[in-house]
Structure 1
Amino acid sequence: MVNNRVTKNGASVATGSPKPLTLILWYGGAIYAQNSAGTWYRNGSPWTAIGTRDPRTNTAYGVLLDTSFGVKGDGKTNDRAALQAAIDGSVGQILMITGQSRIDMKGLDLRGKSHIRFAPGASIKLLPYNAEAYQMIRVWDVDGVIIENAYLDGSKELNASNTGEWGMAISINGATNLTIESPTTINCWGDGIYLDNSCSGSNAYSKNITINNHHAIGCRRQGMSIGSVSGLVLNSPIWENIGGTAPGAGLDIEPDNSATVLENIKIVNPTSKNCSGPGIQIWLSAFAGPTKKNVNISITGHTDVSSKVCAYSVQALRLNGYVVTGSITSASPVWNRPLNQAYLYADWDQAGPTVSVTNPKIVN
């Protein structure tokens, strides 16, 4: 490229661009050039201006295909580097995952305003590994991310290690204004989704998180873990066949330390099935600290089927002179065992948040 011209077969060819060219691209059997104003030109006699839409998009405006960044999606190639390039090159647009990609355990980092959509049948699965921990997709310290229809396979059967419990499909740390629609997370070494404060050292809370229709299957530790969040809506999650290491819960709300919050958490119509631990566990042994806190957790319509320890457990709040107020409620649960076996409430400082279960339905 020289100014507004390209060289083809040794000859300098005018593109008709009034601005200098900044990028030349071979895609789909044609040559394209983009100028400094963002306008694309397609080769021909003469070259033709085609507007500002990237020619690698599909027929829907602003949708970029992962294959245009070199992603193979053939079920065997390590696509991690190409997928990361696709993520980095699609910020502000929709990146469509189209095939059955494999990645190594280094995982993928989403950027602020990333919007990732999985086509029907598309997936990302880990290649064989030997590790106690991984994050397939990291949503760390970014704002405005959207993930749609993700299908993530943590390949627990391919892990050469037999220790650890920290392999996550989606790790959310310090993220804000995040929406995840209909994710499926299977066979993770740890959790399907992990949600906590920032890992950057700022310890910033994750805020305003919405996750709809999460389906976790066969994860070793939890279907989902919550360590800290301010503003969370979980709509109609299903956590099933969870087990392999403790706690083995469908959902575990368990802060690691006192620099955490549990604010404005709404869990609507969750289902836990065949978990080796509780269907839902709330365990607050490390939560109280010098800063006064207010907990607000609302669970409605929880259905549990055959989780081994119990359907619902609330335990281990020790204030030690600190102040934690608020409420933890479970309304209209459906549990398939007697109430005294379904609900475990123990080791709870009565000066802490109120805990209630209302209108439980016990079915055989």
Structure 2
Amino acid sequence: MKLLITSVFFILILINQGVCQPFVYKDVPDYLKKNVIPTEQEINNVILNYPKAVDAVNYLPKNYVIDGSVDYTKQIQNAINNNSQIILPNFPVLVNSKGLTLKSNSIVIFRKNSKILLRPTIENNYQILRVYNVNNIKIFFPNVIGDKDKHLSNKGEFGMGISIRGSNNVKIYKAQISSCWGDGLYIDDYSKKILIEGIHVDNNRRNGISIVYGSDIIVNNLLASNTFGTSPMAGIDIEPDNNTQVVNNITLNYPVTFNNGNRGILLALMNLPGPSKREVIINVNNHTDYFSKMGMAYYPGKNQKKWGNFSGRILINNPNWKNSLNTPFFIPNTELSNNLEILLNTNNGVDRNTMNKIKNITNIHSKIYIK
């Protein structure tokens, strides 16, 4: 009986601390969306700026439906293949797991009611909008919705909303990407000069955004919310797979992470050190987290023999982690600091309780500097 009472008491403590609480989707307040939702005037101005853009409705069959119930993958792909500038229909369009593939020097414009909906699939690997080995792409106001809540299996984790691989000079403006089986936005295969100007990734299963292999990437006004389903469950995850890859000159300006299953921002660099020299520069400016288990987490790795060719810094300016559920800033005690410096500039904007938790980390990890 005494053992039973002790066990119940311990469970109640864990629940009270949020450790055992089940994930609950939270609606994002409108004021957090103001920099990621395009206005009707913005949409109209972009359409006026591209008078040669072709209306993709012209590629649909005569008796097309406007409720997103009929698969128009082939027709929309034909519109992309035959035009350098297209405007998507002003209603939801259903596509299958083949997704849509963009070509170089393309401009794609979504209207106010334009949406690309994925037909529920059994596939564990898909890309709804594919940007592969191309240059000079602009995507305005994409609204992409996956099949997370209707997926036809429980396997896999690589169903992506927008996937960028091996591409250069890609610009995405005020995107809405939700409910994907894997990540909302995925960047890999040494993609360079990527600009994301406003993006809301919501209710994606693995990560809101993953940056695996790329350089010169800027993400302004990220809103990453309600990521939950399979690990890592981060709002944004910067995580190379091995030493052959590069993650350098990555800048996040004003990211907001909200109610993500594990981390708001995850810097998982443990696989990057190795025989080839690697420099990492990551800037995170004005990050605010609400209700994620951890505001930010950094994993430097345990293999000290590989750190000799590894250098750079992570600059964290003016974070606000006071509303993170469990930990504002997490580094495993088992992973000692490598050659990467972490410069944490709080501008006195971190509350005392949060600062005490951060200082406990600096006692173990000597290359963290707080200003």
Could you state the TM-score of these two structures normalised by the residue count of structure 2? 0.76
Alignment CA distance shift 1:340-1:167 (3 Å) = closer
1:95 positional shift: 3.4
* Distance of 1:223 and 1:88 partners within structure 2: 29
1:75 positional shift: 1.0
Residue identity in the other structure for 1:188 = C
8 Å Cα contact 1:167-1:189 kept in structure 2? yes
> Does 1:78 find its partner at 2:64?
no
8 Å Cα contact 1:215-1:238 kept in structure 2? yes
> Does 1:288 find its partner at 2:273?
yes
Alignment CA distance shift 1:255-1:291 (3 Å) = same
Matching residue of 1:36: none
Structure 1: 5+ residue stretches without partners: 1-56, 198-204
* Distance of 1:337 and 1:331 partners within structure 2: 17
8 Å Cα contact 1:253-1:281 kept in structure 2? yes
Residue identity in the other structure for 2:57 = T
Secondary structure of the structure 2 residue equivalent to 1:158 = coil
8 Å Cα contact 1:58-1:65 kept in structure 2? no
Matching residue of 2:118: 126
1:58 positional shift: 9.5
* Distance of 1:362 and 1:228 partners within structure 2: 35
* Distance of 1:340 and 1:278 partners within structure 2: 10
8 Å Cα contact 2:290-2:324 kept in structure 1? no
* Distance of 1:77 and 1:61 partners within structure 2: 29
Choose 66-75 or 249-258, whichever is displaced more: 66-75
Q: Could you say which structure has the higher strand fraction?
A: 1
> Does 1:208 find its partner at 2:197?
no
1:289 positional shift: 2.1
> Does 1:330 find its partner at 2:319?
no
Structure 2: 5+ residue stretches without partners: 1-46, 354-371
> Does 1:89 find its partner at 2:82?
yes
Matching residue of 1:53: none
Q: Which residues of 2 match residues 126-275 of structure 1 at below 5 A?
A: 126-197=118-189, 205-275=190-260
Describe the superposition over 1:287-311 as per-residue Cα deviations: whole angstroms up to 9, x where unpaired: 1122101100000000000102x10
* Distance of 1:135 and 1:145 partners within structure 2: 17
8 Å Cα contact 1:63-1:96 kept in structure 2? no
Matching residue of 1:315: 299
> Does 1:105 find its partner at 2:97?
yes
Could you state the TM-score of these two structures normalised by the residue count of structure 1? 0.78
| Larger Rg belongs to | 1
Secondary structure of the structure 2 residue equivalent to 1:81 = helix
Higher relative contact order (CA 8 A, sep 6+): 2
* Distance of 1:196 and 1:331 partners within structure 2: 26
Residue identity in the other structure for 2:183 = D
* Distance of 2:324 and 2:259 partners within structure 1: 17
1:352 positional shift: 1.8
Residue identity in the other structure for 1:362 = D
1:345 positional shift: 2.0
Residue identity in the other structure for 1:354 = E
Moved over 4 A (4+): 57-60, 337-340
> Does 1:302 find its partner at 2:294?
no
Residue identity in the other structure for 1:90 = N
* Distance of 1:155 and 1:351 partners within structure 2: 40
Alignment CA distance shift 1:97-1:352 (3 Å) = farther
8 Å Cα contact 2:243-2:274 kept in structure 1? yes
Q: Could you say which structure has the higher helix fraction?
A: 2
1:193 positional shift: 0.1
Residue identity in the other structure for 2:299 = Q
8 Å Cα contact 1:178-1:208 kept in structure 2? yes
Secondary structure of the structure 2 residue equivalent to 1:67 = helix
Q: Which residues of 2 match residues 27-46 of structure 1 at below 5 A?
A: none
